[in-house]
Amino acid sequence: MLALLLARQGRSVIVLEKHADFLRDFRGDTVHPSTLDVLADLGLMDKLAALPHRLVRQLRFTFADRTVTVADFSRLRCRHPYVMFLPQWDFLELLGSEGTFTLLREHEVVGLVRTGGAVGGVVARTPSGEEVEIRAPLTVAADGRHSAVRRLLDLRPKEFGAPMDVLWFRLPRESGDRDGVDVRVGSGHLLISIDRGDYWQCGLVVPKGGYEAIGAAGLPAFRETLAGLAPSLRGRLHAIGQWDDVRKLTVRVNRLRRWYADGVLLIGDAAHAMSPVGAVGINLAIQDAVAAARLLAGPLARGRVTTRDLARVQRRRVWPTRVTQLGQRVAQRAVVRRALATSGPVRSPAPTRLLDRFPALQAVPARIVGIGVRPERVS
């Protein structure tokens, strides 16, 4: 996204992608209303709509005593009152095809070019194994929670901890199933089910470090746990035929104290790994990119980006990041930790019953998740 925005400003941009393609199971396949506004401003909505996708307008939680709609995105007063779910590889290919930037696939960053103490580019390993220098007045690390650039800079984020990990898998979707996103809160677990059209993308939330015990108990016990949480899925659990069908996401919540150094900026998960609560990590990363493109347009046009310029980007984006992470940590303690520590049925807490009684309030969590704190617009 940042490359696309900078290229449209006339800047020369090179993007390094260490894989040969984008065909991987990202799981962060949510495109939120605020991101859809950005894509609309860029004139990409028609092409986006042509990709395989699902529009989700409600987020439901199912407890022992009731099912509650927690967030109703259709109540939002915005251009796109829904969350779009589409394969992230298709989304990335769309962005890659729309920009006039150079996309170098199978180029892995293995080092930094240093110029007088500042970062002046990167060293990349090419498909042939050769190492080449790629110089630039600004290097941006958008390489995720295990950022190679962050490691090379020896920057260490502050860890806030998380009580859970998530085991992701797929199950067939049947014609009579409801659409949308459903979270089932049960004894010691939470089960997330995301409507992806012809299948459910499911995530079992387990206590931190609990995957080993689940694996030791065996696949039949794992299936039985899922059937206990969602009896309607029992007939489909044969789709989980081996442990290779289950992917573990180690949840981390952290944030760098400083997102930049001379000549280099870190954004997205490289600067702040988000909890999966609300699935807002991809949205914050894109907002980082939009803000960076706007604030750095002038310095890049002048050919010199100072640390003061980079600090402006952090000042703009650190507050929404802090607020969002604080909300995620509160939700982890109040809902996730409580559910994971419960051995019996979990009844709906008072706030969710209030949302059930006064549906208009469902717009509040919808706005927090769908629009977020300090959404950015393309200038």
Measure the CA–CA gap between 38 and 287, rounded to whole angstroms: 9
Cα-based distances in Å from 10 to 1, 64, 189: 15, 56, 50
Beta-strand (E) ranges in 89-156? Answer: 102-105, 108-115, 118-125, 131-135, 139-141
Question: How many C-beta atoms surround the C-beta of residue 50 within 10 A?
Answer: 10
Tell me which residue of 352, 347, 358 sits closest to 63, measured CA to CA: 347
Amino acid identity of residue 10, one-letter, is G
Task: Provide DSSP, 299-330.
Answer: HHHHT---HHHHHHHHHHHHHHHHHHHHHHHH
- How crowded is the C-beta side of 248, counted as CA atoms within 13 Å? 13
Measure the CA–CA gap between 226 and 229, rounded to whole angstroms: 5
Cα-based distances in Å from 128 to 105, 107, 132, 148: 12, 10, 11, 20
Measure the CA–CA gap between 252 and 368, rounded to whole angstroms: 21
Give the pLDDT confidence score for residue 28 in this predicted structure: 67
The distance of Cα 346 from the centroid of its chain, to the nearest Å, equals 28
* 3 state DSSP class of 350: helix
CATH H superfamily, domain 2-159+252-370: FAD/NAD(P)-binding domain (3.50.50.60)
Task: Write down the residue that tokens 């016990």 correspond to.
Answer: 221
Q: What angle do CA 132, 308, 263 make, to 5 degrees?
A: 5
Longest dimension (CA), the chain: 64
Give the pLDDT confidence score for residue 189 in this predicted structure: 87
Predicted confidence pLDDT, tens digits, the chain (379 residues): 999 999 999 999 999 999 998 887 666 688 999 999 999 999 999 999 999 898 989 999 988 889 999 999 999 999 999 999 888 889 999 999 987 899 999 999 999 999 888 999 999 999 999 999 999 999 999 999 999 999 999 999 999 989 999 999 999 998 888 887 889 988 788 999 888 888 898 999 999 988 899 999 999 999 999 999 889 899 999 999 999 999 998 899 999 999 999 999 999 999 999 998 888 999 999 999 999 999 999 999 998 999 999 999 999 999 999 999 999 999 888 888 888 888 788 888 888 999 999 999 999 999 999 999 999 999 7
For the chain, helix, strand, coil in percent to 5 are 40, 25, 35
Cα-based distances in Å from 30 to 195, 200, 282: 11, 14, 7
Give the pLDDT confidence score for residue 266 in this predicted structure: 98
Amino acid identity of residue 113, one-letter, is V
Report how far apart the first and last C-alpha atoms of the chain are (Å, whole number): 14
Give the pLDDT confidence score for residue 99 in this predicted structure: 78
Give the alpha-carbon dihedral of 355, 356, 359, 360, to 10 degrees: -20
The bridge status of strand 14-17 relative to strand 102-105 is parallel
Give the pLDDT confidence score for residue 27 in this predicted structure: 65
Q: According to the 3-state scheme, what is the secondary structure of 67-84?
A: EEEEEEHHHCCCCCCCEE
Measure the CA–CA gap between 258 and 155, rounded to whole angstroms: 8
DSSP 348: P
**Would you say 189 and 339 are in contact if contact means Cβ atoms under 8 Å apart?**
yes
Give the pLDDT confidence score for residue 64 in this predicted structure: 87
Q: Which residues pair with 319 in a beta bridge?
A: none
Burial class (CB in 10 A: 0-12, 13-18, 19+), 17: middle
